[in-house]
Chains A and B, each alone.
Chain A
């Protein structure tokens, strides 16, 4: 069992899928950091702005990943761009929330003391606020990174590849095998599934080899 699972790492397409997955996740995370941190810095001195940022972030977190993918699809079509936009949208909220909260939670008396001693606004930010908020900000980036890597598996549904391909493939393969042990209705289920998935995927250069592989393993 374990060796079968480990076998997936030996597949010839594994490095490619892994690379797709890592690139997609990393780019999404970088863009998210580049968007969320400046926004958090911008609103740090306005309680209202920080509250809005935090709440927008919370609403963002509540939106299911799949829904964002579906939303991106009509605008950007199938492929990397859609997946990137969707993943970035998912990656922003944790960073925005944590950065805003981290900066907001720096005690006011510390900032007052810093101002009173003659630190300028920029010095207060770089020497006091950011270092104190750093653990919270990094925790947000970490949360976001974990979430992005996990959600990047969904990119397979809009043809952006990644390790999600393997998961979906596994699901499709296991279903029929279990069904084949059951009575005859399972056969129709099997065929309908594969045809449904084939239909929904549309033409994709990789699809052909994938289905070939599937047959290889099943047999």
Chain B
């Protein structure tokens, strides 16, 4: 667990704090997304966890221990670190890049080799093909996979990720996000994730901390609550006018309680139950029909606009994102 306790950061020579009295907790196994406009101190907050930036006031506790209880370098070897620019070492092979921290920790060669192979498999790169390549030979998406693998190398319980999927095209980004969520189901790391993209925050976060200018925490809550009950004008404008639609994207069609389709389904559009409700709504509207057929476990169900409306008015939406 990571606890921020009244954390402030003021740079020398400035009287305005960049992070101001920040307090929240990140529970074990959860992804906490720090999101906000540029200059809101989200990256600074993240970098204070592994003390790349030192705190001016307050403290950050990791599993109850202040993060100042050991040296900065020792602390950082226990915390995974992945950044947008990736920062792979160009003069080292992919295997050496991923093995950086295990190497620092003095693991023996055979163990590092095995771990590197496992991690390459985990992020979907064939070890035989990629181990001995150099970063420049990889595409941007592959480099980001390696960056994530490198952050996971020594199996740290905590990871810091600063827009780790930021440097690739939207399609690749979406795939990397999905894959990472899938990996996270197994590895259950405690993650502080920084992004400026509210859609990514909603998708990736178990909790979202929205920061505003001056490093002030505007709201800290689950994505569902932030979308359904933004606590201020700032938050509601930051999440955008389409927050209702964003809420729909938190739920998949398979999670809806749909009525059976009794005959007469000919000519109705078919919708995959793996889609988010938002995408299903889009398909439904595009089809020009008022209902569609969803096939689930061989059973035909009927999806109507009423089902979707019911969802937006009930508070019970979302939360099933990980089970999808």
Residues of A within 8 A of B (CB): 107, 109-120, 123, 128, 131-132
Contacts and interface: CB of A to CB of B under 8 A. Distances in A.
Given A109-B83, A110-B90, A132-B90, A116 B73 contact: no
B85 A109 contact: yes
Contacts of B86: 109, 113
Interface residues of B, number: 24
A146 to B, nearest CB: 26
Contacts of B91: 131-132
Given A116-B160, A118-B75, A110 B104 contact: no
Nearest to B74: A118
- Taking each of B85, B150, B160, which has the highest tally of chain A beta carbons within 10 Å of its own beta carbon? B85
11 contacts: A112-B83, A112-B87, A113-B87, A113-B147, A115-B52, A116-B83, A117-B104, A118-B75, A118-B104, A120-B73, A128-B89
Given A112-B52, A116-B81, A116-B87, 18 more contacts: A109-B83, A112-B85, A113-B83, A113-B86, A113-B88, A114-B87, A116-B76, A117-B76, A117-B81, A117-B101, A117-B104, A117-B151, A118-B74, A118-B75, A118-B101, A119-B100, A123-B104, A128-B89
Contacts of A120: 73
Contacts of A123: 104
Contact of A116 (B50, B90, B104): B50
Interface string B30-60: 0000000000000000000010100000000
- Taking each of B78, B85, B87, B151, which has the highest tally of chain A beta carbons within 10 Å of its own beta carbon? B87
Contact of B77 (A109, A113, A118, A132): A118
A128 B89 CA distance: 7
A111 B87 CA distance: 7
B85 A117 contact: no
Interface in B72-118: 73-78, 81, 83, 85-91, 100-101, 104
Nearest to A132: B91
Nearest to A130: B91
A171 B89 CA distance: 54
B73 A119 contact: yes
Given A115-B52, A117-B81, A119-B104, A109 B75 contact: no
Interface string B297-318: 0000000000000000000000
A132 B91 CA distance: 6
B211 to A, nearest CB: 21
A45 to B, nearest CB: 15
- Taking each of B100, B150, B160, which has the highest tally of chain A beta carbons within 10 Å of its own beta carbon? B100
B77 A117 contact: yes
A115 to B, nearest CB: 6
B87 to A, nearest CB: 3
Contacts of B88: 110, 113
A75 B20 CA distance: 62
A117 B74 CA distance: 9
A117 B73 CA distance: 8
A128 B135 CA distance: 14
A118 B83 contact: no
Contacts of A113: 81, 83, 85-89, 147
B52 A114 contact: no
Given A109-B83, A112-B83, A117 B150 contact: yes
B87 A109 contact: yes
Contacts of B76: 115-118
Per CB-CB distance, the 5 closest pairs between chain A and chain B, nearest first, are A113-B87, A118-B77, A109-B85, A116-B81, A118-B76
Nearest to A131: B91
A112 B78 CA distance: 16
Interface in B100-142: 100-101, 104
